[in-house]
Amino acid sequence: MAFACCGASSIHGKRSIALANATKPSVTPDVNGVRGGRPNQISTARFPSPVVVTWLPKSLFSQFMRAANIFFLGVSILVCMPFSPTAWSSTALPFAGVLLWTALKDLYEDMRRRRDDIAENLRKCWRFDFVSGKFRQVPWQEVLCGDVVLTLQDEVFPADLLILSASSGRAFISTANLDGETNLKERRPPAACLAALSTPEPSENGEEVKSSGSLTMIVAEGVANEVFSKALQCNLDEPKVGFDDMGGTASFKAADGLDHGETVLYADHFCPRGCVLRNTTWLVSIVAYVGNETKSRLNVATLDSKISNLQVYLNSCVKGLVSTLVVFCLYASIMAQIFGDDDSVADFFVRFCKYWIILYQIVPISLYVCFEIVKLLLGAQINMDEQMADPDTGLHAVARTADLVEELGQVQHIFTDKTGTITQNEMRFARCCVNGQDMGEFRPPPSTGTDNCATTAAPLETEGVAAVRRILQDKSSKAYEDMRRFFLCLAACHSAQVETGKSGEIVYTSSSPDEVAFLDAARSVGMVLRAQRLTPREGIAAVEMQIESPDGVMPLTVLSVVPFSSERKRMSVVCEVDGELLCITKGADSIMGPLCNGTLGDSVMKQIDTYAKLGLRTLVVGWKSVDRSFLSAWQVRMENARGSSIEVREEKLAQCARELEHSLRLSGVSAIEDRLQDGVPVAMSTLKAMGIRIWVLTGDKVETAVEIARSCRLLGDTTALISITNAASSLQAVKLLREGKDAAKANLSGDCTLILDGSSMKYATDSVDGARLIFEVGALCRTCICCRLAPQQKRRLVQIVREADKERITLSIGDGANDVPMIQGAHVGIGVRGKEGSQAVQASDIAISQFRFLVPLLQCHGRRAYRRVATFLCYYVYKHVALAVGDMCWAHQSEFAGKVAYPEWVSSAYAAFFTTVPVIGILSFDRDLPDSSAFANPELYAEGQSRIHFNSRIFTIWMLSGVWHGALSWFVPNLAVGASDPGEDPEWNKDWWTGSLASFTLVLVCVSFRLWMIALNRTSAVTLASFLISFVFYLVTMLMLSHTFLGEIMQPQIQGSFADMFASKEAMLALFLSPLALSLDLIIFVLLKLLRPTPLDCVISELKAKRSRVQAIS
């Protein structure tokens, strides 16, 4: 993904903001001078003002970036030359019409952008007037860098803001508009602000009063005046793209001018533009970045466009046709030199240009336009398919781009995430192991109908809950301290928020469903997290938690948090409980083992393996005591690391984490269930039967992933597992892969699965041979399960397959931000609407709501789209070859005089109307089978995988058919009417033009018959209506050109010829008898269906036979 910053010229570097008593905010450098003093005004329009002047030039410039438009521009220039054999208007006007249509479409889209920009810029926010000391409402576009603004609950931030104070000491924001994540994010003021500013909590009985006289407003104005009186000084970094890449320093100066401490700023202190304030009454902040410097504008993504393989093949075919055009023009020019009076180089060039003009329609102007229309119609059918509508939300599938619909019918590899993609990402606390003892089942039995993933009520007292409760209520129990500490760790080590529901119940929300499950489990055994509040403590922002235990209310203060990441695979908090400092860490067993004194112990590992074989996700929880003096020094280093530059920040944070997370003591192991989505096993079986290789990419343990794969029916009872795991070096990884390749080859049934873990993949991809072997072993296996993978490793696997076999079409499907690299790396990316935000959907080509919808998407829409698009491309080029053959034949008859064979306006109408409407109508809506029959015959999908509808042989056959039909259509009427004498000037020869119109009509009959022959629904309303519309267009056009005053202006040569054609017996005989020759095409077509049927032909024949038997019985 590339990021394009709109208005990059307005981006400034570092800036300093100073607020002093009763003075205007001072900003250095002056970032408020851009856009006429409105730096927060945004514009997404393509065409800057004045639009009347800039619109057409910029639109035309972008259109002529396409090689096809340059080709047609060259032809349009040539037809304006004196030597042109055709009227300039017949070519230049249609091309100008296409350019103008595209330009008007661009203008319409730009007007919509301008309308949205105006609405955005005129939104209101509260800005502090330092003169009156009051907050006033102003439009967003009037906001300046350095302004103090007030945001009330559920309002949107007008710029990137640095928090000064919040109603409860911290704020919760929704970033769904920015990154698609639905969970709330916590933001807090810098430590300097917490220490220097008072944050009283107003009480308004829960009502939001947004008038200037409300208590909320009075409190906020007091905070703003306090900021000015204490002289805030901020030094901010330059604007950067990364969401977490914000930094600087903040300090307050007393009246004596002395500096009383400086606080390092980082992302947790900022609120990005476009995000919404939630669960917080008010927030006072200072504007840090405005307009194009804000994160939402810096992250305007420009994705590398994906091009379908049929588009690539089409471009190659067009190049071949242009090469053919060049060769014939050279040939005709040379022959004119030999047989004609032309003998100069200038004459040769003129004759070459004449034939270029005559034959250019072999590459029709309308090809790419119609190609896009067909794809848009196919994409619309995906959007409207009711069988892919989510039953819970009602959301349909969305083809975010229609450019790749035909690739859905050619997929050979599927790369899928596990959590949230094939599972529901709704976690249930299943079991736990404390002090080596499994505590039993925490999940209620299925018969109770209770869903433990709900957060609004405590689960039933199951076996595990009862066992833990008994221990926690008996202080004399040997397991009491261990059990109490384990569930205390679960209640303390998290990033969840505590909210109060409508009925007063406690509700937990978090970006991680695991954490909600942990808190629910702790609540079920009596360890209830009641509330949490941010409070300044010793220069840091601490979180006070109120935990209710069987022993009473237990105060707990979280002093530091080292957050979870997909690279670290663990999370830690440092908290104070009963005067003791504890470090609590939870993470994957592969990570926690070395941190817990090097090993977890055999009994614990055995229990972890048992959980994994049950398909449960495991986390290990550890703890240790922390020395207070070490913590003070460590917190300083951690704050400095957070404020360091982005280039070294991650390494410094990792180093600080390593200093803390070691020598841990094992507290226990948790096991979480993530249930499969509905229909996943059936979908997996169908996809395998369609001949698609499925690779499951996950961060889980090998055993967990294997059990999930078995429950998905990816693995059968007889499936052989080829395990490439625990490699310690590149040599060992390559050796294991070679052994796995031999084992896969030796498996005669082909029913084998590759098991690959992250460490082995890392070592294998260090060498070219290792990466190639991964592909070779995976290609020999029906499925592949890749475990313990980081997000970039997922994309690397996709790249390995794409690079090893460039003909294979890959598809990636995922639901979370960590799946974005994989989705973008595949030919087709599918985003699943899940619980991890919409970043995967935003990066995808097609969005769906459940994994099982992948089957109708591929087997119904994808398979049909491939056949339709492939047939469209072949037919569209074929019909223009058939028309061009007439000009080639006439060139030989006329001794290469450079004259046209068909009236130019008739030829233009042929491309634009006569043949375009039927091919778009029929191929866009032609249905081969009912969806139920398609699902019952997954082998049909092989047609796209083997490219049977578009390859060099098929394309050649189509082109030869075009030559045959074009020659037949030209010679028979032309000879029958007797207008083939090249000695007569055909310019005003009525018989010649009568024969020409008869030949043209026969071309139209031939290509229409060919389209009807390949149509699957030959008598459907769409098919018959398409041909009827085409005939009406033909009739009206011919009458207009031959018998009206417009025809006298546009095509005077053929005046009366259309009626003469019907009056000529020879012409009528040619028109009615020549199509009999098409019976040869029909015979060949029927023989091919009988002797070499495609899988689709076989299924259609079976369905017809079944219907016949049913009718006979009835």
Q: Compute the distance between CA of residue 890 and CA of residue 892 in angstroms, rounded to an integer.
A: 5
Q: Which two tokens stand for residue 882?
A: 């058939």
Pair 991, 979: CB distance under 8 Å: yes
Q: Report how far apart, in Å, the C-alpha atoms of 204 and of each of 214, 215, 221, 281, 505 are.
A: 9, 8, 16, 10, 21
- Among residues 467, 462, 513, 511, which one has the least CA distance to residue 487? 467
Q: Compute the distance between CA of residue 565 and CA of residue 1080 in angstroms, rounded to an integer.
A: 68
- Which is it for the CA torsion 882, 884, 887, 893, positive or negative? negative
Cis link prior to 94 (omega < 30° from 0)?
A: no
For 461, list phi and psi in degrees, rounded to 5. -80, 90
In the DSSP assignment, the letter for residue 281 is S
- CB atoms near residue 3 (< 10 Å): 12
Residue 486 CB-density burial (10 A; 0-12 exposed, 13-18 middle, 19+ buried): buried
Q: Compute the distance between CA of residue 65 and CA of residue 61 in angstroms, rounded to an integer.
A: 7
pLDDT value at residue 491: 92
Question: Judging by DSSP bridges, how do beta strands 828-832 and 809-814 pair with one another?
Answer: parallel
Q: How far apart are the first and last CA of the chain?
A: 61
466 bridge partner residues:
none
Residue 883 CB-density burial (10 A; 0-12 exposed, 13-18 middle, 19+ buried): buried
Q: Which amino acid, residue 501? A: G
Pair 821, 431: CB distance under 8 Å: no
DSSP reduced 3-state for 666: strand
Pair 941, 858: CB distance under 8 Å: yes
**E-state strands within 337-422:** 398-399, 411-417
pLDDT value at residue 786: 92
Summary count for the chain: helices (H), strands (E): 39, 36
Q: Compute the distance between CA of residue 1050 and CA of residue 1044 in angstroms, rounded to an integer.
A: 10
Q: Which amino acid, residue 423? A: T
Q: Which amino acid, residue 1103? A: L
Q: Which two tokens stand for residue 430?
A: 């299943």
Q: Compute the distance between CA of residue 774 and CA of residue 770 in angstroms, rounded to an integer.
A: 6
DSSP reduced 3-state for 260: strand
Location of structure tokens 């889980």 = 700
Chain-centre distance of CA 69, in angstroms? Answer: 29
Chain-centre distance of CA 283, in angstroms? Answer: 34
**E-state strands within 22-106:** 26-28
**E-state strands within 290-442:** 301-302, 398-399, 411-417, 423-434, 437-438
Q: Which two tokens stand for residue 563?
A: 């957050």
Q: Compute the distance between CA of residue 697 and CA of residue 683 in angstroms, rounded to an integer.
A: 17
Q: Compute the distance between CA of residue 701 and CA of residue 692 in angstroms, rounded to an integer.
A: 25
Q: Compute the distance between CA of residue 915 and CA of residue 1033 in angstroms, rounded to an integer.
A: 10
- Among residues 28, 387, 49, 67, which one has the least CA distance to residue 58? 49
pLDDT value at residue 579: 86
Which stretches in the chain have pLDDT values below 50?
A: 1-10, 202-213, 256, 258, 301, 448-459, 982-983
**pTM flag (> 0.85):** no
pLDDT value at residue 1027: 94
Q: Compute the distance between CA of residue 559 and CA of residue 497 in angstroms, rounded to an integer.
A: 16
